[in-house]
């Protein structure tokens, strides 16, 4: 178990532990490949499954899953509390209790860093959904870094549960990608999300210390 967590801290290639995802539906366009769609579904199932199994170990209430509104392109995403979706963003919408992401943001990181990117984005936004379920005193002021920490805890927990596997690769790739994309996308804006090093370090804190290290 410890090995899996340490490997995860160097976040790399993610593969579903089961091979039951061969019947990938074709994506709506060239931008969403079948394998990326597969990774999105696997990430959602892994993270949601982690909280279904473990939420009550940490918090004194039952778990409810947020809604996944999934991928959009450009500005076609679901509006949130009267605000329109932004291109190249991924977000959790508290009033609607849903997650959404621009497939262009997914594919930008997917091409640079591989599928770990998709897992990071979905797990991070899920982290915001978890924050919305907690009393305010448990939500860090640095709520973006706390969401990265929860992302690490969710994914390492899913690894420990045998739902996904992580394999070694280039540990620098994820933080490099965050840095590269920081100038281009709202999702990686360093002013509100922290810089690439802070984000990687927050992720690793959760991956190594679990949920309790984040709250
Ligand atoms: Zn965030």
In SS3 terms, the chain reads as CHHHHHHHHCCCEEEECCCCCCCCCCCCCCCCCHHHHHHHHHHHHHHHHHHHHHHHHHCCCCCCCCEEEEEECCCCCCCECCECCCCCCEEEECCCCEEEEEHHHHHHHHHHHCCHHHHHHHHHHHHHHHHHCCCHHHCCCCHHHHHHHHHHHHHHHHHHCCCEEEECCCCHHHHHHHHHHCCCCHHHCHHHHCCHHHHHHHHHHHHHHCHHHCC
How many A from CA of 145 to the centre of ligand 1? 8
Going by pLDDT thresholds of 50, 70 and 90, the confidence category of residue 27 is very low
Task: Report whether pLDDT(24) > 60.
Answer: no
How many A from CA of 20 to the centre of ligand 1? 30
How many A from CA of 128 to the centre of ligand 1? 7
- φ, ψ of residue 146 to 5 degrees: the values are -65, -35
Task: Quote the CA–CA distance of 183 and 135 in Å, as a whole number.
Answer: 33
Q: What is the mean pLDDT of residues 3-10?
A: 37
Strands 98-102 and 90-93: antiparallel
Task: From 113, 120, 166, 151, select the one nearest 6 (Cα to Cα).
Answer: 166
Q: What is the mean pLDDT of residues 21-38?
A: 58
Cβ–Cβ < 8 Å for 36, 107? yes
Task: Report whether pLDDT(28) > 70.
Answer: no
Q: Provide the residue range defining the domain that includes 88.
A: 2-214
**Count of domains in the chain?**
1
Q: What is the mean pLDDT of the chain?
A: 82
The sign of the dihedral angle between the CA atoms of 126, 130, 132, 133 is positive
How many A from CA of 187 to the centre of ligand 1? 7
How many A from CA of 209 to the centre of ligand 1? 20
Going by pLDDT thresholds of 50, 70 and 90, the confidence category of residue 14 is low
How many A from CA of 146 to the centre of ligand 1? 9
How many A from CA of 192 to the centre of ligand 1? 8
Going by pLDDT thresholds of 50, 70 and 90, the confidence category of residue 146 is very high
How many A from CA of 22 to the centre of ligand 1? 31
How many A from CA of 147 to the centre of ligand 1? 6
Strands 67-72 and 98-102: parallel
How many A from CA of 144 to the centre of ligand 1? 5
Most confident of 4-8, 53-57, 105-109, 142-146: 53-57
Q: Give the residue ranges of DSSP H helices in 30-102.
A: 34-58
How many A from CA of 19 to the centre of ligand 1? 30
How many A from CA of 143 to the centre of ligand 1? 7
Q: What is the mean pLDDT of residues 38-57?
A: 97
How many A from CA of 1 to the centre of ligand 1? 28
- Residue 16's region, left for phi above 0, alpha for psi from -120 to 50, else beta, is beta
How many A from CA of 28 to the centre of ligand 1? 26
- Per-residue confidence (pLDDT) for residue 15, from 0 to 100: 56
């Amino acid at each position: 178990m410890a090995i899996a967590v340490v490997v995860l801290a160097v976040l790399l290639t993610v593969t579903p532990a089961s091979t039951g995802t061969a019947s990938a539906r074709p994506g709506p366009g060239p931008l969403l490949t079948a394998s990326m769609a597969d990774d999105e579904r696997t990430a959602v199932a892994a993270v949601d499954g982690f909280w279904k199994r473990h939420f009550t170990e940490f918090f004194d209430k039952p778990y409810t899953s947020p809604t996944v509104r999934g991928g959009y392109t450009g500005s076609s995403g679901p509006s949130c509390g009267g605000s329109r979706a932004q291109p190249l963003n991924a977000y959790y919408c508290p009033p609607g209790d849903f997650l959404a992401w621009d497939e262009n943001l997914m594919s930008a990181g997917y091409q640079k860093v591989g599928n770990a990117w998709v897992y990071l984005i979905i797990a991070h936004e899920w982290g915001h959904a978890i924050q919305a379920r907690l009393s305010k005193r448990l939500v860090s002021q640095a709520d973006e870094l706390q969401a990265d920490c929860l992302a690490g805890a969710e994914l390492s927990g899913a690894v420990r549960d045998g739902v996904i596997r992580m394999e070694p690769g280039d540990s620098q790739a994820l933080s490099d990608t965050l840095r590269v994309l920081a100038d281009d996308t709202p999702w990686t804006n360093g002013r509100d999300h922290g810089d690439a090093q802070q984000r990687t370090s927050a992720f690793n804190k959760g991956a190594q210390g679990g949920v309790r290290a984040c709250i």
